[in-house]
Each structure stands twice: as structure tokens, then as C-alpha cells.
Amino acid sequence: MSKHIAILGSTGSIGTQTLEVVEANPELFVVDVLTANNNVDLLIAQAKKFKPDVVVIAREDKYEYLSEALKDEDVKVYAGIDAISQVVGMSSIDVVLTAMVGYSGLLPTIKAIEAKKNIALANKETLVVAGEIIQKLALENGVSIYPVDSEHSAIFQCLIGEFENPVEKIYLTASGGPFRGKDRKFLEDVTSKQALKHPNWDMGAKITIDSASMMNKGFEAIEAKWLFDLKPEQVDVIVHPQSIVHSLVQFEDSSMKAQMGLPDMKLPIQFALTYPKRLKTSFERFNFLDYPNLTFEPADSKNFRNLALAYEAMDKGGNMPCIINAANEIMVEAFLKDQVGFLQMSDIIETCMQKASFIARPVYEDYVSSDAEVRELAASLI
């Protein structure tokens, strides 16, 4: 039977690659919902091609343009973040793939879980900001969360058949980004254009900057803590420039398992949508002879302080990961507009962590107020 899916963030990097997976397997997937934040022209093209029941544009000022373009299509058109949060509860949907960027993905994910929809999670900020709430809701509603990030998918794949065996440690691999091995003197003058040139992965602007600053890997560490029920000291980051080993699990008997393959996000996307089955693909195959040397080195949290700040937030808990996420989103936006320097991002994020109101046991409303408070604070420090 076909699986009916909603793709939140269909015009972004993960969303477009998800639709490539759907197109390659038309007998397995039906697209019921497509949503986008701003890229209305691509959303229109996707709607005409995949014929969803519903499309939603988060930017309400784009509604009329979208509605007019699709007036001859058999598709319902809505606008606004509230509409996205409502459509995920449609009875026909089997799985919601959340690929919205940043904090915006939190409420739709919560609503999807409350509607008892399984989640294919590509929006790591959801677990960074409110991991405790998300995991509690998923347990209460019998919902499975399948990771789409390549690193967390790798850990998940390594744990299949091992769920009764305690994990001693996991290792998240990082490419090191475009500035691997560079010192602070070099980093003082790097530009957003340089930071957007990731050596191995094709990603959106926000996640590419996060990768360059190592904040992405810090967020992945927090996400892994919640996904796999780990303590902070059980999550380590190592730099692996070739991006062939996507992550590793170490068990209590000292044995280690790794998941490997060429960098291609369509594999973890497809696995999240088809688990426990593996589909035959035409993806390029990895050849050991093409990579005679796979190298590993420690992560540099001294020069790339965002990684250390993320671990600090994970250790403190409460709403601190929410604080660091909100500050980081403002900083990335400012860096892309050349309003702050690469190293200044970490300085301002740290200041926000020191000045923002800390809440040890937050509820959802606390996350909302913290996010708003920190965005205002971070913007004032630029």
C-alpha cells in the first residue's frame, strides 16, 4: 500500500530531495501536503507535478499569488504557520517529514505528534529546543520518530537489532566544513560567501553556515541525546573529512558499528520513509579503492566555540538549548547579511546564554517566551 506523506519545507534542500525519492518510487508514496516558507514559485511547480491535496505557504502575503496560480488545480491552498500546524492532522497522512528551517518546525511537529502521525525528522532544532517535550509526547501518542539527518540515521541503522544492548558511546562524524584546520586569525576575516562553500554536502544556507561554525554538530549532539536516550558524556564528535563514515556506535563490549556510504541525503530520507525495508536504488556505490585513506581527527572546539557552547547548553539543560538556538538563528541571519563577523557569532551567542532568563523545567509556553526574548536580545547586540 502507498504511504501518504506530508512534506513540511518542500522547497528546501531536504524537501526537494524527498520529492526525488517520491518520484523514483511512485507506487510507494503519495504526497498529500506540501508546505514552504517563501519560495512560492517552486511550491507552485511542485504542486502541479505531484498533485497534493493541500499546499500551504507560510508567508501570508504570498497567498493570493499562490492561490491564483493553482486555481485550475484540484488542490486546497492555505497560508500561515497556523495552517501548517493544522494540516498535519489530516486523517489521510501516514508520516510527516519535517524539513522546515529552525524553530519554525517545532509547533507543526508537536501538532503532528498529537495527531498520532509518525515523524521523519529533518528539523534538528525541534529536539534541540524542546527534546523533553517531544519525546514525552511521542511516547504518549505511540509515535515513532525516524531521523533524517545523515548522522542520526547512521546511528539508528547501527542500532537495528541492538536495542537491548546498552550503548557505551556514540561518535558523530563531522566533515570539518570549509574552514577545517584554520585558526582564529584566519577565521576573523572569513566571509559568508566562503562559509557557504561546503566541501561535501549540498545544503541550505542556514545549515551550511551552522556546519562551518560547528554549531550544526553541537545541535546534532543535543538531538542525539534525546533520540537515543543518552547522557551528554556519551556523545562525542570526531572530524572525518571524507564524509564516508556517517557515524559510529560503541557498545559495552568495546565493539563498534559504523554506517558508511557516499554523501547523499536521499539515502537517509528514503530509509526514514520506508523503515524497516530497504529499497533497491540507483544511487552511486561507494568503492573502497577510491578512498584508500579514511582519516579522523579531534573536533576543534577551541577555535570553533559554537561546538563548546552547544555542549555547555546540553549540560545545563532546561531552556538553555532553546536560548542558544534562538541566538544562533539571529546570528546566522546577521552573518549572511554581513552584519557580524564569523567569530562574533559565538561571542554574542555566549552573551545571550549569560543574560537570558534561565528556566530549569520549562513547559511549551516557556520555550515560546524564551525564543522571543533571546531573539530580541541577540538583535540588540549586533
In eight-state DSSP terms, residue 359 is: -
67 and 117 within one domain: yes
Residue 361 CA to residue 339 CA, distance in Å, equals 34
Directed axis angle between helix 125-140 and helix 215-227, to 10°? Answer: 10
pLDDT at 202: 64
Residue 200 above 80 pLDDT? no
68 and 115 within one domain: yes
Largest CA distance in the chain: 62
Strands (E), 82-187: 95-98, 118-121, 145-147, 167-174
pLDDT tens column, 151-188: 999 999 999 999 899 999 999 999 998 999 999 999 99
Tell which of 104, 124, 147 closes a domain.
147
243 and 266 within one domain: yes
pLDDT tens column, 221-239: 999 999 999 999 999 999 9
Q: What single letter denotes the amino acid at residue 46?
A: Q
Q: How confident is the model over 241-257, as a mean pLDDT? A: 96
On the question of a cis peptide bond just before residue 276, with omega within 30 degrees of 0, the verdict is yes
- Residue at grid coordinates 498520532: 116
Under DSSP, is residue 127 helix (H, G, I), strand (E, B) or coil? helix
Is the residue at 377 inside a domain?
Answer: no
Task: List Cβ neighbours of 209 (8 Å cut-off, separation of 6 or more).
Answer: 192, 195, 196, 332, 335, 336
68 and 163 within one domain: no
136 and 26 within one domain: yes
141 and 73 within one domain: yes
pLDDT at 103: 83
78 and 45 within one domain: yes
Strands (E), the chain: 3-8, 29-36, 54-57, 76-79, 95-98, 118-121, 145-147, 167-174, 235-239, 245-251, 256-260, 297-298
Classify residue 190 by burial, with Cβ atoms within 10 Å: 0-12, 13-18, 19+: middle
Is the residue at 319 inside a domain?
Answer: no
293 and 278 within one domain: yes
Residue 326 CA to residue 212 CA, distance in Å, equals 18
Is the residue at 342 inside a domain?
Answer: no
Number of neighbours of residue 157 by Cβ within 10 angstroms: 20
Asked if 269 and 18 touch (Cβ cutoff 8 Å), the reply is yes
Is the residue at 316 inside a domain?
Answer: no
Is the residue at 329 inside a domain?
Answer: no
**How much is the pTM?**
0.93
Tell which of 301, 325, 346 closes a domain.
301
CATH number at residue 75: 3.40.50.720
232 and 136 within one domain: no
Domain count, the chain: 2
287 and 171 within one domain: yes
157 and 290 within one domain: yes
Per-residue pLDDT band at 355 (split at 50, 70, 90): very high
Classify residue 151 by burial, with Cβ atoms within 10 Å: 0-12, 13-18, 19+: buried
pLDDT tens column, 323-348: 999 999 999 999 999 999 999 999 99
Is the residue at 195 inside a domain?
Answer: no
Three cell numbers, residue 170: 556514540
Q: Which domain holds residue 250?
A: 152-181+203-301
Tell which of 147, 172, 189 closes a domain.
147
pLDDT at 7: 98
267 and 252 within one domain: yes
Is the residue at 216 inside a domain?
Answer: yes
Asked if 240 and 294 touch (Cβ cutoff 8 Å), the reply is yes
Is the residue at 197 inside a domain?
Answer: no
